[in-house]
């Protein structure tokens, strides 16, 4: 008997699982600066500045400011300004507003993202098999309302429900976000659901902690993928391999134990 016959729901992570970023962060900050006649900021300094600013904002105002009732655009405006300041670029308010608007619009569109070629076929296959498909992501509302639809990943044809941290006020690796997903899927039992992601800490461990099946994708040959396998996780290269595994009538005891 295949594992597929035991499932009622599959949930998937977004970035690194269904989609990937195109280019570098500096590309979009550079284009925004040039659009108002400024020289291109240094890529490395902007990247490091963004990492620090994003981490700081996520710590002080988690889930994109959900608990503080901070508007999404204000959260990002503060983060982007701090990114530039950390990188050594302290623009005046009028200039920064123009640069920020360009950056905010870019990352709220399909432009910085690409969909892995196996994503849409896999999601449609799962739904055709009668499974409920959910999205679980540490992302703000634009992923659900704008970005995923713009990329051709639509609610109703590729996925059934979404659990996005910016809308829920809870984020991975908190197991509560997986419990919310089980409720959205129809209050199903954890053992009737499989989660697929690309992070041991944010996807595999918390999903397993609530009793779900789980496996990991290693699309980019992560250096710690071998450690994931040593920890007992099933690690596959893409969603084609996931589909083959789920459809197999010869799931070995070891593989089944790893998924469970």
Classify burial at 226, counting beta carbons within 10 Å of its beta carbon; exposed 0-12, middle 13-18, buried 19 or more: exposed
Looking at residues 70-78, what average pLDDT do you find?
Answer: 97
Q: Is the pLDDT of residue 247 over 60?
A: yes
Per the CB < 8 A criterion, the answer to whether 182 and 202 are in contact is no
The residues spanned by each domain of the chain are 3-21+115-258, 25-108
CA dihedral 166, 168, 174, 180 (to 10 degrees): -140
Report the pLDDT value the prediction gives residue 1, as an integer from 0 to 100: 58
Per the CB < 8 A criterion, the answer to whether 73 and 101 are in contact is no
Q: Residues with Cβ < 8 Å from 130, sequence gap 6 or more?
A: none
Report the pLDDT value the prediction gives residue 250, as an integer from 0 to 100: 64
For residue 173, say if its preceding peptide bond is cis, omega within 30 degrees of 0: yes
CA dihedral 33, 76, 16, 230 (to 10 degrees): 120
Beta strands in the chain (DSSP E): 9-12, 19-21, 113-115, 132-137, 161-164, 193-197, 213-217, 235-236
Domain 3-21+115-258 adopts which CATH fold?
Rossmann fold (3.40.50)
State the Cα–Cα distance between residues 198 and 176, nearest whole angstrom.
Answer: 19
State the Cα–Cα distance between residues 33 and 21, nearest whole angstrom.
Answer: 20
Which of the four pLDDT bands, split at 50, 70 and 90, describes residue 5? confident
Report the pLDDT value the prediction gives residue 257, as an integer from 0 to 100: 53
Q: HEC profile for 143-155?
A: HHHHHHHHCCCCE
Classify burial at 253, counting beta carbons within 10 Å of its beta carbon; exposed 0-12, middle 13-18, buried 19 or more: exposed
Per the CB < 8 A criterion, the answer to whether 258 and 3 are in contact is no
Q: Is the pLDDT of residue 235 over 70?
A: yes
Q: Is the pLDDT of residue 13 over 50?
A: yes
What percent of the chain is modeled with pLDDT above 70?
95
Q: What is the pTM of this model?
A: 0.92
Structure tokens at 43: 């890529």
Looking at residues 226-239, what average pLDDT do you find?
Answer: 95
Domain 25-108 adopts which CATH fold?
DNA polymerase; domain 1 (1.10.150)
Looking at residues 131-145, what average pLDDT do you find?
Answer: 96
What percent of the chain is modeled with pLDDT above 90?
92
Angle at 198 between CA 220 and CA 128, to 5 degrees: 105
């Amino acid at each position: 008997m295949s594992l597929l016959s035991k499932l009622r729901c599959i949930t998937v992570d977004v970035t690194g699982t269904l989609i990937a970023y195109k280019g570098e962060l500096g590309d979009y900050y550079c284009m925004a600066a040039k659009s108002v006649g400024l020289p291109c900021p240094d890529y490395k300094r902007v990247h490091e500045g963004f990492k620090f600013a994003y981490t700081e904002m996520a710590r002080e105002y988690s889930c994109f400011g959900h608990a503080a009732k901070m508007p999404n655009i204000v959260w990002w405006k503060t983060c982007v300004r701090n990114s530039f300041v950390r990188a050594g670029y302290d623009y005046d308010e009028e200039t920064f507003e123009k640069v920020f608007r360009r950056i905010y619009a870019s990352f709220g569109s399909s432009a910085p993202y690409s969909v892995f070629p196996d994503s849409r076929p896999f999601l449609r296959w799962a739904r055709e098999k009668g499974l409920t498909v959910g999205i679980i992501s540490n992302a703000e509302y634009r992923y659900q309302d704008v970005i995923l639809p713009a990329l051709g990943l639509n609610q109703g044809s590729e996925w059934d429900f979404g659990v996005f941290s910016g809308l829920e006020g809870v984020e991975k690796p908190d197991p509560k976000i997986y419990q919310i997903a089980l409720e959205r899927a129809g209050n199903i039992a954890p053992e009737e659901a499989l989660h697929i992601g690309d992070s041991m800490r944010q996807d595999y461990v918390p999903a397993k902690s609530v009793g779900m099946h789980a496996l990991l994708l290693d699309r980019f040959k992560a250096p710690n993928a071998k450690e994931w396998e040593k920890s007992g996780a099933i690690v596959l290269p893409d969603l084609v391999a996931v589909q083959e595994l789920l459809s197999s009538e010869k799931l070995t005891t070891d593989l089944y134990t790893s998924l469970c």
